[in-house]
Amino acid sequence: MKNIQKLSLGSLMLVLLYLGGAASAAGLNNNIAVRLVGTADMYNGDALFEDFGLDQEGALCYDLDLVDVKSGNVIGSAADCLTNISPVGSGVALTGTTFFFFPGGTVVTRGLTTVQPTTHGSADFTHITGAIPQPGDNNVVYGDGKFKNASGPVRLSGAVNLGNFPDQATFDCVFILDIGPGR
């Protein structure tokens, strides 16, 4: 009987460990939903870009918490970097390069982003932002660990407060990474 109890307890512990680690199970062939959340001061991203073998572009970068959408737990960190910022109508177009530092590896994505003033909603945010890839797009520019050779589309939908931009910005952005092995 004691062996059965030990086996049952052991099985229960494995299930709990698996469920608790679901957020860190992010890797290839997964649809990953994460939030970038926080207020951050801007820094020049040249050193970060160089560390990952990317062309230095004088990016404006902001370090943020990487939050699992389902659990609300912080599961890593991220750097959101902005380049090619240009006014378009009442908004802005830019290139967003985002560094996702997951427990099992790093994935870096790049996409064309639209930023528009809010017309209603939370007073904590001044703009909405989004990036919608074309069908067949690959937004992954770098991957290591679980993300080595990753490719696939990445979608962004978010809210930002740009009241102190570019020196500081507040983010609450959802990213959907639909990535798999490289093509």
Residue 70 C-beta-side C-alpha neighbours within 13 Å: 12
Q: Phi then psi for 127, rounded to 5 degrees?
A: -140, 155
Output the six-digit token pair for 59. Answer: 């990016």
Burial call 80-90: b when 16+ CB within 10 Å, e when fewer:
bbbbeeeeeee
Q: Write out pLDDT tens, residues 69-80.
A: 999 999 999 999
The span from the CA of 3 to the CA of 140, in Å, is 49
> What pTM was computed for the model?
0.84
Output the six-digit token pair for 18. Answer: 């698996």
Q: Write out pLDDT tens, residues 50-105.
A: 999 999 989 999 999 999 999 999 999 999 999 999 999 999 999 999 999 999 99
